[in-house]
Chains A and B, each alone.
Chain A
Amino acid sequence: GDSVTQMEGPVTLSEEAFLTINCTYTATGYPSLFWYVQYPGEGLQLLLKATKADDKGSNKGFEATYRKETTSFHLEKGSVQVSDSAVYFCALIQTGANNLFFGTGTRLTVIP
């Protein structure tokens, strides 16, 4: 069945460091891929998404590229800030399907 695997956390970085959070998926066909972010005490919110192979989603300095050949959708940011401290979830959905599959989440802490 469809599934998403995220790198285990927690991840602790210093401010202005480079961030990569790995996400790989198992799915048939061409699912849509998402990154959601959950800030402390809040619900999840969409960070970025990509709907087809080689698409790059970007938002707030974060980027992720849909790589069909490696079944990956890694999240990157060139220079993290303290305000980026949150839990990041990778997710996928098949076209026309009725379930959004989430990864287990990766907690990021950015220290000044």
Chain B
Amino acid sequence: NAGVTQTPKFRVLKTGQSMTLLCAQDMNHEYMYWYRQDPGMGLRLIHYSVGEGTTAKGEVPDGYNVSRLKKQNFLLGLESAAPSQTSVYFCASSWNGMADTQYFGPGTRLTVL
């Protein structure tokens, strides 16, 4: 039982490049989330999903897209990376909504030069 896993763990991009972050969970959770964590700030919600095939915007969605084609996977895409997107990205999942216990992955550290 791996819980929530994220791929890759580290990545360096140049401005304008694109990439996809993969999140996978093996707990059969309906809800999945993408957060970013920046120095001196709390985690902020980028996008979330309430079930397979659904996505919704969070607090800071601009510059990101997401897809939830399979229940266990939640992908975060950056179409044209910018230095402001340098951050640590966390994926999380929960069984029964955002107020339910969220289980987090180990994070992806992304640097955009």
Contact surface of A with B, Cβ cutoff 8 Å: 4, 32, 36, 41-46, 49, 51, 89, 91, 93, 95, 97-105
Residues of chain A contacted by B44 (CB below 8 angstroms): 102
Interface of B (DSSP majority class): loop
Residues of chain A contacted by B104 (CB below 8 angstroms): 43-45
Residues of chain B contacted by A51 (CB below 8 angstroms): 99
Q: In whole angstroms, what is the CA distance A49 to B100 when docked?
A: 10
Residues of chain A contacted by B99 (CB below 8 angstroms): 32, 51, 93, 95, 100
Partner of B45, one of A41, A46, A100: A100
Interface size band for B: 20 to 34
20 A-B interface contacts by CB (under 8 A)? A4-B42, A43-B4, A43-B103, A43-B105, A43-B106, A43-B107, A44-B43, A44-B90, A44-B92, A45-B104, A89-B43, A95-B99, A97-B98, A98-B48, A99-B45, A99-B58, A100-B45, A100-B102, A102-B44, A103-B42
Residues of chain B contacted by A41 (CB below 8 angstroms): 106
